[in-house]
Every structure is written in C-alpha cells, then in structure tokens.
C-alpha cells in the first residue's frame, strides 16, 4: 500500500470525525468508553477525538509532517505497540506513526482505553479494508520485529527485559510543569487550568507542578479556577481523591491552599496526586531555568504564558509551550522527546 493511500485514509478518518453526521455515533462510543472506565467522561472522550481530528488528521498537517520522513521501508516490519490508557485515545499517535511509516501494527490495547482505540482501528478498516492486513490487536507481541511501549518506571524494567533484544522505544513516567512569572492574568489562568485539570490531570502532558516567584500570591489563580468545582466534583472518582488528599493534609497539618476542588501545596516531588497541584518557588529567572534543566528527563512539557501561541513558542525557557496547549499536541510533539517516526524509519 502506497504512503499516499495510507495518508488519504487518515485524512478521510479526520473528515469523518469532524462531520456533523458522525457526532451521534461518536457520542455513543464515548458513552461506551465511560461505561468501561469512569475516568473517561463523554465530554473528555469527545474532546480527545476532536483533538485528534483537528491536530493530526488534516491533509496539510499530515503532508507537511510526512515530508520530513521521505524514506519508505524496503521491507515492512511488524511493530509491537503496548499502548497507554491513562487518557482517552492516547495511543492513537503511535498507531498513526507505525502505519504511516509503512510498517505493520501489532497493538496491545490498554484495558482502560480499549473502546476508543478499537473503534478508531475499525473505522480505519471500514474506510480502507486493506488496513485489515496491516493492523492486528493482540495480547502477546512475540511476533514483533520492534517495540514501542509506554508505562510506569516500574513496568519499563519489564519492558526492557522482554523487548530489550530488539529495536525499541520504552517510555517511563513523565509529567509537565507550568512556569509563572507573577504577571499572568485571568485569561492565562483559565488556560493553565486546562493544562492542570483536563482529563482530571491523568496525562503526562498535564501540569502537576508549577514554578512561581517567591512570595507568590495564589489567590487570583485559585479564584479564577474556582467556578470549575462542579465540573470536577461531579465525578465521584475525582471527588474521592480530593476528599482523601484533603483529609491527609488536614490530619498531618500540611500547609496547603484549597479552592474547593484543587489543593495546592509545596513539594519537591514532580508528580502530584489527582486533585493536587505542587509548587516550587524561584528567586531569579536563571534559578527556574536551572531547576527545569535538572529535571528535564522527567518533564514532558513546560508551559508558560510567555511562550507564543502555538506549540513551538520559546518564551524565556526554550521549548516551552503556551498555556492551554499541553493537551493538544501536534504531530511532531513526540512523547519523551523521542522522534517516533525517525525510529521507525531505521527499521
């Protein structure tokens, strides 16, 4: 199958996901995903599907992206992918990379995100039945020639043991950081709120720690986000986490701030529990830069209001993205900074 044919299939999938006639079907699939995983609300699943359509599956974006990788494999390989399932349809980018690079996909779907990824695979096959020979869902990946696996730091050790003898990308725990200068206003706070709490903060691209100037006043940020309390506490799983973490902080007299659904406390850790936002302070700009650089291998994204709108803004921390963009990655925003397409082109 030619790359142009594969590309057009994904463009057709994007057109379908954006079409008005598809929305009742997508709502039904989102409902099924919610039955299987209560973290996947209907709105969150629909937001993820629409983000895939808008950020990945347009002819212009796909063509520009693929132009960076003109090489097609002489012999297509079978690539085993252990998909993440922490947020809706998070494994789709790996699926897209494998198939558009010209290789076959052997996918182990996450039990947490089975419904959405299975649906997208079936929709691809409906659009182009040839894809049935290029995609297989499997529990075991023994037949693969190379591997892409996403998991925790603990599971990464097992992945390395089982997959280490063949070409691989093995991803570990990462999280994202927000960088504030103390000059942000309500609009920036609202966008940062999405970076913190979209998908209940379960993604590696969610901001779980913020860097703020010394003596920072959190009141404007927390007041701006406070009206979102009903959005998050309506989910019983989120509320259980919020109630538990709040009780722990109260019992142990841990200093913290609370706006009704989000707890803010200072911590040296990077990855905060659900419903909690960690912070660290800095005195000088170079102090914040040094702090971020020292933890670069554990940070997925740095977000700041000073980055220009879009995903390639620089701000005063190179590579930072604008608030509100962490959960809308583009095609070239590779997990862990590892170019998945370049890896696939070497097989």
Backbone angles phi, psi at 234, to 5 degrees: -70, -15
Q: Which of the listed residues 149, 173, 197 is the one where a domain comes to its end?
A: 173
Model confidence pLDDT, tens digit, residues 165-220: 999 999 989 999 999 999 899 999 999 999 999 999 999 999 999 999 999 999 99
Backbone angles phi, psi at 149, to 5 degrees: -135, 135
In CATH, what number is assigned to the domain containing residue 295?
3.40.309.10
Q: Is the pLDDT of residue 312 over 70?
A: no
Please tell me the predicted confidence (pLDDT) of residue 74. 85
In sequence order, what are the beta bridge partners of 194? Answer: none
In the three-class reduction of DSSP (H, G, I as helix; E, B as strand; rest coil), residue 108 is classed as strand
Closest Cα partner for 190 from 235, 217, 221? 221
Backbone angles phi, psi at 107, to 5 degrees: -110, 125
Whole-number Å distance between alpha carbons of 270 and 278: 7
* 117, part of any domain: yes
Model confidence pLDDT, tens digit, residues 153-180: 888 888 888 888 999 999 989 999 999 9
CB 303 within 8 A of CB 326: yes
Q: How many CA atoms lie within 13 A of 193 on its CB side?
A: 22
Please tell me the predicted confidence (pLDDT) of residue 139. 92
* 343, part of any domain: no
Instruction: Give the residue numbers spanning the domain of 40.
Output: 3-173
pTM score of the predicted model: 0.93
Do 7 and 128 share a domain, yes or no?
yes
Average pLDDT, the chain: 94
Do 77 and 223 share a domain, yes or no?
no
Do 15 and 148 share a domain, yes or no?
yes
Q: Is the pLDDT of residue 260 over 90?
A: yes
Please tell me the predicted confidence (pLDDT) of residue 294. 95
Q: Which of the listed residues 173, 197, 221 is the one where a domain comes to its end?
A: 173
Please tell me the predicted confidence (pLDDT) of residue 154. 84
* 271, part of any domain: yes
In the three-class reduction of DSSP (H, G, I as helix; E, B as strand; rest coil), residue 227 is classed as helix
CB 198 within 8 A of CB 238: no
Whole-number Å distance between alpha carbons of 195 and 205: 8
List the 321-322 sheet strands across, edge first: 257-258, 263-266, 276-282, 207-213, 175-179, 299-304, 321-322
Do 105 and 135 share a domain, yes or no?
yes
Whole-number Å distance between alpha carbons of 299 and 2: 37
* 330, part of any domain: no
* 331, part of any domain: no
Q: Is the pLDDT of residue 328 over 80?
A: yes
Using CA atoms, how far residue 150 sits from 28, 59, 108, 155, in Å, is 28, 28, 11, 8
Do 120 and 190 share a domain, yes or no?
no
CB 174 within 8 A of CB 158: no
Do 217 and 268 share a domain, yes or no?
yes
Tally of domains in the chain = 2
Closest Cα partner for 298 from 124, 137, 172, 123? 172
Q: Any idea which of 44-58, 140-154, 195-209 has the lowest mean pLDDT?
A: 140-154
């Amino acid at each position: 199958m030619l790359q142009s044919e594969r590309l057009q299939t994904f463009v057709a999938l994007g057109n379908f996901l954006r079409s008005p006639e598809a929305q009742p079907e997508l709502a039904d699939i989102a409902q099924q995903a919610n039955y299987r995983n209560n973290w996947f609300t209907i709105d969150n699943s629909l937001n993820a599907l629409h983000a895939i359509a808008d950020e990945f599956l347009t002819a212009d974006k796909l063509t520009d992206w693929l132009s960076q990788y003109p090489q097609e494999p002489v012999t297509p390989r079978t690539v085993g992918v252990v998909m993440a399932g922490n947020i809706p349809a998070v494994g789709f980018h790996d699926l897209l990379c494998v198939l558009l690079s010209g290789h076959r996909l052997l996918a182990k779907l996450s039990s947490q995100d089975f419904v959405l990824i299975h649906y997208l695979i079936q929709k691809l096959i409906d659009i182009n039945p040839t894809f049935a020979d290029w995609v297989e869902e499997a529990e075991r990946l023994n037949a693969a020639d190379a591997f892409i696996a996403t998991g925790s730091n603990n599971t990464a050790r097992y992945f390395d043991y089982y997959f280490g003898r063949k070409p691989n990308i093995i991803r570990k725990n990462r999280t994202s950081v927000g960088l504030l200068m103390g000059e942000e206003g309500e609009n920036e706070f609202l966008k940062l709120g999405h970076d913190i709490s979209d998908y209940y903060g379960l993604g590696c691209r969610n901001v779980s720690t913020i860097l703020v100037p010394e003596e920072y006043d959190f009141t404007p940020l927390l007041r701006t986000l406070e009206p979102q309390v009903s959005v998050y506490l309506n989910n019983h799983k989120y509320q259980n986490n919020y109630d538990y973490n709040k009780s722990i902080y109260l019992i142990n007299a841990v200093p913290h701030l609370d706006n009704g659904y989000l707890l803010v406390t200072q911590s040296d850790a990077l990855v905060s529990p659900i419903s909690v936002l960690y912070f660290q302070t800095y005195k000088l700009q170079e102090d914040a830069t040094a702090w971020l650089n020292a933890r670069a291998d554990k940070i997925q994204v740095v977000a700041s209001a000073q980055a220009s709108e879009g995903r390639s803004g620089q701000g005063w921390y190179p590579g930072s993205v604008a608030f509100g963009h962490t959960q809308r990655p583009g095609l070239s925003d590779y997990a862990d900074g590892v170019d998945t397409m370049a890896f696939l082109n070497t097989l």
